[in-house]
């Protein structure tokens, strides 16, 4: 099911192979044998994780005092792959061992395979969810029109948590909007919210607004983009979009290993437009009381470091961490560094 990640408020670098999820609504061309094998391994991994993702193990334990999460100015480099494991005993006294991983646009639970394994080896309990119309979820992305519907697997998960249970949420890219939406509606069940190069929007903003510098304004994108999908016919508004493979490589995977890129190319699905074009309503009483942390990726071509810094300035989180040498997908390019940062955040009292 998973694999590993590691990261701190510093820099990191690490690559690993990848296996995961399944492809829907894509062309029927015959895959090369190696790619087909990778695809089947990915599908098997995703199904196994999907079947076990409903478990609710572990119990809450009392907090221990730990490092504070103030912003750090110096990013760190990824340690070698032989980084010693964190013993489960060391993590016994954290508030919650449950970490819920929310993927970004076009991705699925499959993208966290390295992170899942690393977190499990450290004694934590990770769960990676497929958002509606993503990964192996069967919903047609053209029919996903609201952020609430897109976030439903996460909202259902939080709704079904035992009353006094809490989780740490990690949202990648536009998955950050789902985390913000969850904070507004289930703040009492979220110990900490982590935005991984994510759309940490302010009240009244659309998730798409964060990418406007890269993609143009929402209005311009809807009129001029070559990547739009009209699931209800050309005469009706666009329902989604998907970048060409070469563009995805440059935007998302400029530092990622080739095997992980191959996995993504056969696993990514179209992105529903409705959820990212919806303005979020976030209140000080609910969202404002959540504990938020931001992880910046310093070689990111999809969401530049300058834009990430702007998000942090405009909507300050409790702590800011940085991964040096990471593209927009640190779970592929710098898994060890990402893992270290997640461990550190989990232990902040």
Query: Which residues are the active-site residues?
Result: 173, 300, 328
Sign for the pseudo-dihedral over CA of 61, 65, 69, 74:
negative
The contacts found for 139-142 with CB under 8 angstroms, 24 or more apart, are 140/25, 140/231, 141/25, 141/231, 141/239, 141/240, 141/269, 141/270, 141/271, 141/272, 142/229, 142/231, 142/232, 142/239, 142/240, 142/270, 142/272
Sign for the pseudo-dihedral over CA of 101, 183, 308, 141:
positive
As a whole number of angstroms, the distance between CA 149 and CA 156 comes to: 11
DSSP string, 182-205: HHHHHGGGEEEEEEES---PPTT-
Asked if 294 contacts 70 with a C-beta cutoff of 8 angstroms, the reply is: no
Q: Which of 150, 142, 188, 148 is nearest to 169 (CA)?
A: 188
């Amino acid at each position: 099911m998973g694999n590993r990640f590691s990261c701190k408020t510093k820099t990191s670098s690490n690559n690993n192979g990848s296996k995961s999820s399944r492809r829907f609504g894509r062309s029927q061309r015959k895959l090369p044998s190696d790619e087909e094998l990778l695809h089947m391994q990915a599908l098997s991994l995703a199904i196994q994780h999907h079947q076990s993702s409903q478990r609710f193990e572990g119990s809450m334990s009392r907090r221990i005092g730990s490092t504070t999460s103030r912003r750090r100015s110096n990013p760190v480099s990824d340690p070698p792959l032989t980084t010693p494991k964190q013993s489960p005993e060391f993590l016994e006294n954290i508030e919650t061992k449950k970490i819920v991983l929310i993927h970004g646009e076009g991705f699925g639970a499959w993208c966290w395979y390295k992170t899942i394994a690393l977190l499990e080896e450290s004694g934590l309990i990770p769960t990676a969810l497929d958002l509606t119309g993503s990964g192996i979820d069967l919903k047609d992305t053209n029919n996903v029109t609201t952020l609430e519907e897109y976030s439903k697997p996460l909202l259902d998960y939080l709704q079904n948590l035992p009353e006094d249970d809490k989780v740490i949420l990690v949202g990648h890219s536009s998955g950050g909007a789902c985390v913000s939406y969850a904070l507004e509606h289930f703040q009492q069940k979220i110990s900490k919210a982590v935005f991984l190069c994510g759309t940490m929007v302010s009240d009244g903003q659309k998730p798409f607004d964060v990418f406007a510098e890269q993609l143009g304004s929402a209005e311009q994108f809807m009129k001029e983009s070559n990547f739009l999908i009209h699931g209800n016919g050309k005469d009706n508004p666009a329902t989604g979009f998907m970048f060409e493979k070469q563009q995805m490589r440059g935007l998302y995977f400029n530092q990622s290993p080739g095997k992980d890129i191959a996995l993504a190319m056969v696993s990514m699905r179209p992105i529903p437009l409705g959820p990212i074009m919806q303005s979020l309503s976030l209140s000080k009483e609910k969202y404002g009381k959540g504990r938020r942390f931001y992880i910046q990726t310093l070689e990111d071509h999809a969401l530049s470091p300058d834009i990430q810094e702007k998000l942090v300035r405009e909507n300050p989180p409790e702590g800011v961490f940085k991964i040096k040498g990471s593209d927009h997908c640190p779970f592929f390019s710098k898994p060890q560094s990402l893992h270290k940062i997640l461990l550190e955040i989990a232990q902040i009292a």
